[in-house]
Amino acid sequence: MIGCVLAGALALAAPLAPQARANDVGAAIAAGVVGAAIGASLAKKSKSRHKHADDRFSPAAGVTCYRRQRACYKDGGGFAANWTHRIYG
């Protein structure tokens, strides 16, 4: 399903960035722009294992939010979409 989402996003992205038409995408791929960007995104991940003690906070009982992820979770549970929206918009 994410493929459908990505396809829709890419298809609808064209009006927002008219310069990124099919020919431009092909040219960018041929020039290695897209591949280079993906490679950089995947390769730059740090191997450091620093602990971020201040990464989390609790906006309410039973809910913990994580600053770097920009997401909230129920304590002892999973992703809290409603709390994430409430805290981060």
Partner 1 sequence: MPRPITACALAAALAATAAPALAQSQRLQAAWDAATAEGPVLEDAAAARLNQIAYHSAVDGLCEGFEIDVAEISAAANAVLADAAALDPEAAMARQAEILVALGTAHGIFLAEGSLNPAAFCAEAAAVRDDPAFDDHWR
The footprint of partner 1 (CB under 8 A) covers 1-2, 4-6, 8-13, 16-17, 19-20, 24-25, 28, 31, 33-34, 36-38, 40-42, 44-46, 48-49, 52, 66, 68-71, 73-82, 84-85, 87-89
Q: Which two tokens stand for residue 87?
A: 């805290």
To partner 1, the closest distance from the beta carbon of 65 in angstroms equals 10
To partner 1, the closest distance from the beta carbon of 39 in angstroms equals 9
Q: Which residues of 16-46 are buried (b: 16+ CB within 10 A; e: fewer)?
A: eeeeeeeeeeeeeeeeeeeeeeeeeeeeeee
Whichever of 16 and 61 has its CB closer to partner 1, that residue is 16
Task: Let me know: does 72 contact 59? Beta carbons within 8 Å.
Answer: yes
Rounded to whole angstroms, how far apart are CA atoms 80 and 84?
A: 6
To partner 1, the closest distance from the beta carbon of 38 in angstroms equals 5
